[in-house]
Amino acid sequence: MADTTETGNDANCLEKFKSYVKTRKGTILASEILISFIIIILYASSTYGSYSAVAITEMVIAIIFFGVFMMEMDKQFLMINWLWSDLFRAAIGTVLYIITSLVCVIGGTGDGARIAGGVFGILASILFAYDTYTIYLEVKSTGQHTAASTGNIV
């Protein structure tokens, strides 16, 4: 008979997922993924489905960062400054969501799904702005400023 207990990498990955979602950053990223998915559905059901490109892009990038932080790959791949990359991701997401959402809400007369997508987009921009703020505070507290190397060995 097959053993029904989870062992190995599957159980380890599931435990990492459960524990990471309980953290503040994990909850924010999971919320960003969920609200982006809702926006994709709303924009896809409207007559102007092209606005879903922003939501798709932001959801995919949030999934990548969620996976990197959940599996603690940010501590293994040190050639990328993950904190600053996450800051730029959240800041760009904020700006893109607020622009597309305002366009959809203002010009969405007669298209309820487009207006609903715009309203959820405004909520997403608030969530991304909060994420940007929390990352900024983390950057500020960790003192990411390092001296440039002069090449002189002392």
What is residue 149's predicted lDDT score, i.e. its pLDDT?
A: 59
DSSP alpha helix (H) spans, the chain: 9-21, 24-45, 52-70, 82-107, 112-142
pLDDT for the residue numbered 7: 56
CA atoms within 13 A on the CB side of 43: 25
- What's the pLDDT score for residue 100? 93
Half-sphere exposure of 1 (CA within 13 A, CB side): 3
Which pLDDT does position 1 carry in this prediction?
A: 44
- In Å, how far are 4, 89, 99, 123, 142 from 103, measured between CA atoms? 52, 21, 6, 14, 37
In this prediction, residue 153 carries a pLDDT of: 64
Query: In the chain, which stretches have pLDDT less than 70?
Result: 1-11, 144-154
Q: What is the CA angle 88-84-21, rounded to 5? A: 85
Q: What is the pLDDT of residue 126?
A: 97
Look at residue 13 in the predicted model and tell me its pLDDT.
83
Q: Does residue 102 contact residue 95 with C-beta atoms inside 8 Å?
A: no
pLDDT of residue 8: 60
Rounded distance between C-alpha atoms, residue 41 and residue 7, angstroms:
36
| Residue pointed to by tokens 């993950």 | 82
Domain ranges of the chain: 23-140
User: Looking at residue 146, what is its pLDDT?
Assistant: 58
Residue 110's pLDDT is what?
85
pLDDT tens-digit map of 55-84: 999 999 999 999 999 998 988 988 989 999
Q: The tokens of 138 are what?
A: 């983390």
